[in-house]
Amino acid sequence: MATAAPAASAPAVALERVGRAYGERVALRDVSFTLPAGETVAVFGANGAGKTTLLRVLAGLLRPHAGRATVLGAELPREAYLARGRTGLLAHEPLLYRDLTVRENLRFHARLHGVDAGRVEALCAQVGLAARADDPVRTLSRGMTQRAAICRATLHAPELLLLDEPFANLDPGGALAVAPLIGRQAGPARVLISHDVEHGLLEADWVLGLRGGRQAFFASAAQVGVKDVRGLYA
């Protein structure tokens, strides 16, 4: 019997004492928080704090070794397939084929998600890539590549965005162009990794601080100040 899709009212993310290790090295330990649908948690921490590992667990790319994790009501890793098509991942790597054009890449992903090709053209125009849509990704600047990766992550209108430094390599014009897709006004729930403390706090409803793979704090953004976040990097 086919498994029913999770209820739309489920939290976007719910973690209970989640842990993940790489051999002897513990990358995450006892991380617990709940992110309501449509809200944003900003994740802060120094390099090696576990931020990217957390994002990869939520994306279903890594199995948690301890605790319980659900994404959009789907339990990981057993039901990860129920969440993948409803999640958009923007990682450090653009996850685009370098020798294919922007349009070819996006149309490939559109077919995977059953999205009309017209969505590809609309996104390229929205982020200022229409004139470069037939150029191979390998010929693009880092900023243009980031715009293309944002189109890929959002073309299927995901309910949850997993964003690792999404505004990296973007000039002010680029950041403005992509903001309707990945900014606070975009609509989906977001897990946002950022080293820009002030901007990250402005974007967030909740704040998760990680230190050495452990949860230093999880609180409403209204309760967390810049000094609290900067203390994670001391």
In a domain, 31, yes or no: yes
What rounded mean pLDDT belongs to the chain? 95
Give the pLDDT score at 106: 98
Q: Is residue 211 part of a domain?
A: yes
CA-to-CA distance for 160 and 85, rounded, in angstroms?
A: 10
pLDDT digits (tens, 9 = 90+) for 12-68: 999 999 999 999 999 999 999 999 999 999 999 999 999 999 999 999 999 999 999
Tell me: the pLDDT tens digits for 18-28?
A: 999 999 999 99
At position 131, the amino acid (one-letter code) is: A
- Quote the CA–CA distance of 199 and 219 in Å, as a whole number: 17
Q: Is residue 177 part of a domain?
A: no
Contact present, 209 and 51 (Cβ < 8 Å): no
Q: Is the pTM of this model over 0.85?
A: yes
The whole-angstrom distance between residue 119's C-alpha and the CA centroid of its chain comes to 20
The answer to whether position 6 is within a domain reads no
Judge contact between 215 and 188, C-beta under 8 A. no
Could you give the percent of the chain with pLDDT greater than 90? 95
Residue 10's pLDDT band, with cuts at 50, 70 and 90, is confident
- The predicted pLDDT at position 2 comes to 40
- Would residue 234 count as lying in a domain? yes
How confident is the model over 156-164, as a mean pLDDT?
A: 97
- Of the two residues 9 and 4, the one the predictor is more confident about is 9
Q: Is the pLDDT of residue 1 over 60?
A: no
Q: Yes or no: say if 163 and 182 are a contact pair by the CB < 8 Å rule.
A: yes
Chain centroid offset of residue 231 CA = 24
> What is the domain-level CATH number for residue 16?
3.40.50.300
pLDDT band at 164 (very low <50, low <70, confident <90, very high): very high
pLDDT in tens, 84-141: 999 999 999 999 999 999 999 999 999 999 999 999 999 999 999 999 999 999 999 9
> What pLDDT shows up at residue 48?
94
For 21, the domain range is: 11-86+160-171+192-234
Task: State yes or no: cis peptide before 77, omega within 30 of 0.
Answer: yes
In whole angstroms, give the CA distance from residue 218 to residue 208.
4
Reported confidence tier of residue 6, pLDDT bands at 50, 70, 90: very low
DSSP 95-111: ---TTSBHHHHHHHHHH
Structure tokens at 48: 């090696």
Hey, what's the torsion of the CAs at 101, 103, 104, 109, to 10 degrees? 130
In a domain, 58, yes or no: yes
Q: How many domains does the chain have?
A: 1
Q: Does residue 127 belong to any structural domain of this protein?
A: no
Q: Is residue 149, in this structure, part of any structural domain at all?
A: no
Confidence label for 79 from pLDDT (cuts 50, 70 and 90):
very high
Which residues, listed in sequence order, are joined to residue 35 by a DSSP beta bridge? 13
